[in-house]
């Protein structure tokens, strides 16, 4: 699979390694979207885990922040919501002056101190968080997943049967986006023929200008206004209908959410769109990439399809579709000999913890039959642990069971194009060919 881009990436990775090790530790900053795009972020985290596992970056495009890079330390922060609050944003935001002024206007309403009235529950602490989470959890609870399984399987089959044979195509577009969008449309009971709107809105929310469906902030604002208007229309329809099992109906009728402002409702919709789309999509693409990178593992899988569930968990660890989550300290706190001050932002780099060899043996390698494959950080821990984790695993398991029934190989043709983001760790495009059917 060596191609021009692979060579360019090799040079960029070598340069990133030099930079990561030559930079003075006191000012080392691991948050570079370009490094994530070039798959060149690893040395920064390798160095931090070894030399400064709870690390202070005094200044960066995202301001000042702590980086927590080892598995057990990340778990300690993630499970301590009393000290590490989600209410002031759960990511790194560009500091003033880095983006054009219009970019901050929308951000202010999304991430500022707007109070719980306009926040989704991922951006809340207890008790508000727990109440809202309880309202939506039945939509992804085991009983509901049992019902959804056959629907997802049928749709996965339709997607795979329509793929071209012997001709190159973009796996991200034709499979990863399509399957996750279909599932999300099912969860929302969203008009099925318009489901690609969900993909477009999700991409609008998570991409940088020029890396998705928008280039100017005005375009972005308009797309998000369309999304909001569409979902408010669905709320109005469902609130006047009988309660049903879809997420919108659950929010519109739930005792604790039916009185929500439209800002808060839309924040929760946004959370579910992003949560349910990008992450699973990038794991589906990541599985194809990893199995091509590790052909011996692909052989193991073909020989023994019973390995699909553990391959799925290994892919979720290896890919780490969300590179980090952040918290803000609500009080001064002594942690691993460092003094975290009230108001400091603390980033839990899941992408690094999942490569910590004190907890995971041989962590850089993709091993589909490793013991305890679910022991990873990709879904977080504590009260915010991913509510959709079983649904994500279900989709991945089904698509691979169906792939193995149909195709002996999905062959990667060139280096994929990765996302330009320090948060979403994924793929914009991945050219593959399916040489033949079984
Ligand atoms: C492989 C796929 C997925 C990954 C890697 C992933 C990852 C995550 C992570 C890291 C968190 C935050 C955990 C923390 O702060 O401790 C989270 C929360 C969340 N995820 Fe997922 N997710 C995935 C799939 C999904 C799906 C399919 C849904 C759709 C239902 C979903 C919905 C959510 C929601 C609603 C939250 C907020 C939970 C809370 O704040 O209590 N996720 N996810």
Probe residue for ligand 1, chosen from 75, 275, 314, 423 as the CB with the greatest number of ligand atoms within 8 Å: 275
The mean pLDDT value for 253-261 works out to: 89
pLDDT score of 167: 98
The DSSP call for residue 177 is I
Angle between helices 308-319 and 295-303 (to 10 degrees): 150
Burial (CB < 10 A; 0-12, 13-18, 19+), residue 424, is buried
Residue with the nearest Cα to atom 6 of ligand 1? 379
Q: How far is CA 358 from the centre of its chain?
A: 25
Q: Is 133 in the pocket of ligand 1 (CB under 6 A)?
A: yes
CB-based contact 239:252 (threshold 8 Å): yes
- List the beta bridge partners of residue 231: none
137-183 tens-digit pLDDT: 888 889 889 988 999 999 999 999 999 999 999 999 999 999 999 99
Q: Is 271 in the pocket of ligand 1 (CB under 6 A)?
A: yes
31-51 tens-digit pLDDT: 999 999 999 999 999 999 999
Comparison of pLDDT for 216 and 256, the residue scoring more: 216
Does pLDDT of 115 surpass 50? no
Q: Is 326 in the pocket of ligand 1 (CB under 6 A)?
A: no
**Atom nearest to 396 CA in ligand 1:** 1
Q: How far is the CA of 324 from the centre of ligand 1 (A)?
A: 12
How far apart CA 208 and CA 224 sit, in angstroms, is 14
The mean pLDDT value for 242-267 works out to: 90
Q: Is 122 in the pocket of ligand 1 (CB under 6 A)?
A: yes
Residue whose token pair is 């030559």: 22
100-113 tens-digit pLDDT: 777 776 554 443 33
Residue whose token pair is 């796996």: 171
What does pLDDT average to over the chain?
Answer: 92
Probe residue for ligand 1, chosen from 386, 390, 399, 400 as the CB with the greatest number of ligand atoms within 8 Å: 386
Q: Which two tokens stand for residue 181?
A: 């969008």
Q: Which two tokens stand for residue 319?
A: 């890919």
What number of residues does the chain have? 438
The mean pLDDT value for 57-69 works out to: 97
């Amino acid at each position: 699979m060596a191609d021009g881009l692979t060579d360019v990436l090799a040079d960029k990775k070598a340069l990133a390694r030099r930079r990561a090790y030559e930079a003075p530790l006191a000012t080392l900053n691991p948050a570079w979207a370009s490094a994530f795009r070039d798959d060149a972020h690893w040395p920064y985290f390798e160095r931090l885990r070894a030399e400064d596992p709870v690390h202070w970056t005094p200044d960066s495009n995202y301001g000042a922040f702590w980086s927590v890079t080892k598995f057990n330390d990340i778990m300690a922060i993630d499970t301590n919501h009393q000290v590490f609050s989600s209410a002031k944003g759960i990511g790194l935001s560009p500091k003033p002056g880095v983006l054009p002024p219009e970019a901050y206007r929308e951000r202010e309403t999304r991430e500022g101190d707007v109070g719980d009235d306009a926040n989704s529950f991922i951006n809340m602490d207890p008790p508000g968080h727990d109440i809202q989470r309880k309202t939506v959890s039945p939509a992804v609870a085991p009983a509901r997943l049992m019902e959804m399984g056959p629907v997802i399987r049928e749709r996965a089959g339709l997607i795979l049967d329509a793929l071209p044979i012997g001709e190159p195509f973009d796996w991200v577009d034709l499979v990863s986006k399509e399957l996750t969008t279909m599932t999300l449309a099912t969860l929302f009971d969203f008009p099925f023929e318009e489901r690609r709107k969900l993909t477009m809105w999700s991409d609008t929310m998570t991409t940088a200008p020029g890396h998705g469906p928008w280039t100017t902030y005005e375009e972005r604002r308009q797309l998000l206004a369309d999304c909001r208007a569409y979902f408010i229309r669905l709320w109005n329809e469902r609130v006047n209908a009988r309660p049903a099992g879809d997420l919108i109906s659950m929010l519109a009728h739930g005792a604790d959410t039916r009185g929500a402002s439209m800002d808060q409702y839309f924040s929760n919709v946004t959370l579910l769109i992003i949560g349910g789309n990008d992450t699973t999509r990038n794991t589906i693409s990541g599985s194809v990439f990893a199995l091509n990178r590790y052909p011996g593992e692909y052989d193991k899988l073909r020989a023994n399809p019973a390995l699909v569930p553990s391959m799925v968990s290994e892919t979720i660890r290896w890919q780490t579709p969300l590179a980090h989550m952040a918290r803000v300290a609500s009080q001064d706190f002594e942690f691993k000999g460092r003094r975290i001050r009230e108001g400091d932002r603390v980033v839990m780099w899941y992408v690094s913890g999942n490569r910590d060899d004190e907890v995971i043996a041989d962590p850089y390698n993709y091993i589909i039959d490793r013991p305890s494959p679910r022991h990873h950080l990709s879904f977080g821990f504590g009260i915010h642990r991913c509510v959709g984790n079983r649904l994500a695993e279900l989709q991945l398991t089904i698509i691979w069971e169906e792939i193995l029934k149909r195709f002996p190989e999905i062959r990667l043709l060139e280096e994929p194009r990765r996302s330009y983001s320090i948060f979403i760790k994924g793929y914009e495009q991945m050219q593959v060919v399916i040489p033949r059917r079984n």
